[in-house]
Amino acid sequence: MTDFRIGVGSADISDRALEYVTQVLKSKRLSYGPFLKKFEAGFAKIHGSSFGLTANSGTDALRVAVSALKELNNWKDGDEVLVPAVTFIASSNVVIQNNLVPVFVDVDPKTYNMDPAKIEERITGKTRAIMPVHLFGQPCDMTSIMKISKKHGLKVIEDSCETMFVSHRGKPVGSFGDFGCFSTYVAHLLVTGVGGVITCSDKDLALTARSLLNHGRDSIYISIDDDDNVSKEQLSLIMERRFNFVRIGYSSRLTELEGALGLSQLEMKDEIIKKRQKNAEYLTGGLSKFGDRIQLPYTLPGNEHSYMLFPIVITDKNIDRHNLTFFLEKNGIETRFMFPLLSQPVYVKLFGDLEGQYPVAKWINSNGFYIGCHQALTKQDLDYIVLKFTEFFNSNPK
């Protein structure tokens, strides 16, 4: 093993981040305030949405989005939500946590995102929503998915925890569905430590989600600023209802410290995305000579790709995934398997052995892995990655 490490993510703390965090600490205002408000408004605007709401995590953003739709549309326990058969487990966990049932849809073998051609065969009388997941930094085929959702009257929750700042056919992720949900956890495109953001453009949905994120509080009073500069009548109304809870909510708030980190990176988003796209292009160029042995990332026409990660699926039957990923890890290149979901012990216990019904997910589960593509990687790092793949394939000829 080596001390040298090319990680799957990075946490850039810029001078601007230090300045903003210092401002927060000096202000002694940690609860929801100006930094979070600015971050939410900026994030929503970039993602073509009227409202941005910060949450404690991407998972909480999703859990609250599903919960708000369930409440406002009178979904029953046991109703179904369509989720891709390849995703991080949080996508389907939030469905279960809302007493709903995740029904899996196989994914596209090139993009690894939910395959629109496989959606309708999974729709039943109990289906209420589709949760497309924009995996690895690439939007799903939202044109087809929105067409199907309209045809069947289904709600759409975009799990965009791995994709930010990019568009499908000119329309930003997070602006297609009823809700978009993003994660700012470590190794994501924008990192605040923990954190999530919900985007939406419907006022009722936004108010319900904001309340759910804040213990189910009456939306008249969410932040300590909400009683500043209001009329006498409004102030007495707020005082009446300030401690009113109108639904069973969650405690899912960020502090101004995360707001400061988020805002500092939002202002650098173009640099972040450009660098990741350049890195992906360079890696693809360097590794394309192995195109008959590994499948490299593919971008659907009409999509922009933000390359949160660099997914690879081994196509050479003679290459064992463990041997290749172990060789890379031994040489300091971090790898992760591509989101095994249906084979998770807890899901096998809950749903039985489903993998046979999802051949593409099964193929990815056996042969897929990803490496980092983040903005802190240098040309030297990228050349080193290509060199290590070359060494491996040279010592394991076809």
Residues in touch with ligand PLP (CB under 6 A): 57-59, 87-88, 90-91, 133, 159, 161-162, 183, 185, 196
Q: Specify the residue, 185 or 310, whose C-beta has the smaller distance to ligand PLP.
A: 185
Q: Specify the residue, 254 or 382, whose C-beta has the smaller distance to ligand PLP.
A: 254
The number of beta carbons lying within 10 Å of the beta carbon of residue 288 is: 10
Q: Give exposure, 317-352, as e/b (b: 16+ Cβ within 10 Å).
A: eebebeebbebbeebbbbbeebbbbbeeeebeeeee
Complete DSSP assignment for 317-347: TT--HHHHHHHHHHTTB--EE----TTSHHH
| Shortest distance (Å) from residue 7 CB to ligand PLP | 15
Residue 104, phi-psi category: left (phi > 0), alpha (psi -120 to 50), beta (remainder): beta
| Shortest distance (Å) from residue 54 CB to ligand PLP | 12
User: Using the 8-state DSSP alphabet, how is residue 30 labeled?
Assistant: -
Nearest to 250 by CA among 80, 85, 71: 71
Q: Specify the residue, 59 or 149, whose C-beta has the smaller distance to ligand PLP.
A: 59
| Shortest distance (Å) from residue 93 CB to ligand PLP | 9
In whole angstroms, give the CA distance from residue 347 to residue 46: 36
Q: Are the CB atoms for 297 and 305 separated by under 8 Å?
A: yes
Q: Specify the residue, 59 or 375, whose C-beta has the smaller distance to ligand PLP.
A: 59
Biggest alpha carbon–alpha carbon distance for the chain: 80
| Shortest distance (Å) from residue 163 CB to ligand PLP | 9
Give the count of alpha carbons within 13 A of 331, CB side only.
Answer: 16
Q: Which residue has the CB atom at the shortest distance from ligand PLP?
A: 58
Q: Specify the residue, 80 or 158, whose C-beta has the smaller distance to ligand PLP.
A: 158
| Shortest distance (Å) from residue 278 CB to ligand PLP | 23
Collapsing DSSP to helix, strand or coil, 222 comes out as coil
Q: Specify the residue, 190 or 312, whose C-beta has the smaller distance to ligand PLP.
A: 190
Q: Specify the residue, 58 or 259, whose C-beta has the smaller distance to ligand PLP.
A: 58
Instruction: Classify burial at 250, counting beta carbons within 10 Å of its beta carbon; exposed 0-12, middle 13-18, buried 19 or more.
Output: middle
Q: Specify the residue, 141 or 159, whose C-beta has the smaller distance to ligand PLP.
A: 159
Nearest to 328 by CA among 280, 294, 277: 294
Q: Specify the residue, 161 or 324, whose C-beta has the smaller distance to ligand PLP.
A: 161
| Shortest distance (Å) from residue 30 CB to ligand PLP | 20
Q: Specify the residue, 89 or 237, whose C-beta has the smaller distance to ligand PLP.
A: 89
- The residue type of 372 is G
Q: How far is CA 41 from each of CA 35, 53, 199, 262, rounded to the nearest angstrom?
A: 10, 8, 10, 12
Instruction: Classify burial at 167, counting beta carbons within 10 Å of its beta carbon; exposed 0-12, middle 13-18, buried 19 or more.
Output: middle
| Shortest distance (Å) from residue 92 CB to ligand PLP | 9
| Shortest distance (Å) from residue 282 CB to ligand PLP | 24
Q: Are the CB atoms for 186 and 268 separated by under 8 Å?
A: no
| Shortest distance (Å) from residue 222 CB to ligand PLP | 21
Handedness of CA 159, 163, 164, 165 (dihedral sign): negative
| Shortest distance (Å) from residue 327 CB to ligand PLP | 26
